[in-house]
């Protein structure tokens, strides 16, 4: 069974631009969660999607948004990028609820210049 | 307000000795706890978990202990191996469709 895949793996953008990251969950997994990892801050929860509906949302500004498609693939979008958005963005999938065992992808390393 | 705290950013242990990673939490509603391991350039991988109805769970070289009254859990790795060098994240959840809450991680270095 293929694992969670994320594209692209690396991305460089400039301030003010927007970016879209993609995540394909493990086949059969319906829940997709997104996390931001920055040095010293651990994994901070962005949002969770289940069956195309946002089920949970973390404490991030509205510039961060996401969606999930009928095949469970998910995208997250960050608009008006700021330097502080530079981070590793991780996607995780699970069979049902997001608080079950989650399987993580390798992440997308976003650098904002 | 950080609900899951890993107060040691790093830990260095000699190969063959015991590694003890600690985690404290503040939310008494948490009822399930997990440890994840992360290597550079990879996503975190699930290691071991424990339910609040237990105080110990063991899986091979890895044992997690839970002290509910102290709101503290620890991960023991015995014996430590160089391949265990990674960042370890503690995570907690409460029942219902609520997301996992992660600590900031502890970087473990096992020295040969």
pLDDT tens-digit readout, B45-96: 999 999 999 999 999 999 999 999 999 999 999 999 999 999 999 999 988 8
With beta carbons less than 8 A apart as the criterion, state whether A63 and A77 touch: no
pLDDT by residue (tens digit) across A83-103?
999 999 999 998 876 556 889
Q: Answer whether B23's CB lies under 8 Å from B5's CB.
A: yes
Closest of A1, A2, A5 to residue A108, by C-alpha? A5
First-to-final CA distance of chain A:
37
DSSP for residue B82: G
Q: Which residue of A has its CA nearest to B98?
A: A99
Distances in whole angstroms, Cα of residue B46 to Cα of each of A21, A82, B2, B70:
23, 31, 21, 24
Residue B60 DSSP code: T
Contact (CB<8Å) B104/A41: yes
Any B CB within 8 A of A55 CB: yes
A87 and B CB contact within 8 Å: no
Q: In whole angstroms, give the CA distance from residue B24 to residue B90.
A: 9
């Amino acid at each position: 069974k293929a694992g969670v895949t994320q594209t692209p793996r690396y991305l460089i953008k400039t301030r003010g631009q927007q970016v879209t990251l993609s995540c394909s969950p493990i086949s059969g997994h319906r829940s997709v969660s997104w996390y931001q990892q920055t040095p010293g801050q651990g994994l901070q929860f962005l949002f969770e999607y289940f069956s195309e509906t946002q089920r949970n949302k973390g404490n991030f500004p509205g510039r961060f948004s996401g969606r999930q498609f009928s095949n469970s693939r998910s995208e997250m979008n960050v608009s008006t990028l700021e330097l502080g958005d530079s981070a590793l963005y991780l996607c995780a999938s699970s069979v049902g609820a997001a608080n079950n065992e989650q399987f993580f992808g390798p992440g997308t390393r976003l650098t904002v210049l | 307000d950080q609900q899951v705290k890993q107060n040691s950013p790093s830990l260095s242990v000699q190969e063959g000795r015991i590694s003890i990673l600690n985690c404290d939490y503040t939310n008494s509603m948490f009822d399930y706890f997990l440890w994840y391991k992360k290597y550079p350039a990879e996503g975190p991988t699930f290691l071991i978990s424990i339910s609040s109805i237990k105080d110990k769970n063991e899986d091979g070289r890895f044992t997690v202990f839970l002290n509910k009254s102290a709101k503290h859990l620890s991960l023991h790795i015995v014996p430590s191996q160089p391949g265990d060098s990674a960042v370890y994240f503690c995570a907690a959840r409460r029942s219902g469709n609520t997301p996992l809450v992660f600590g900031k991680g502890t970087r473990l270095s096992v020295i040969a």
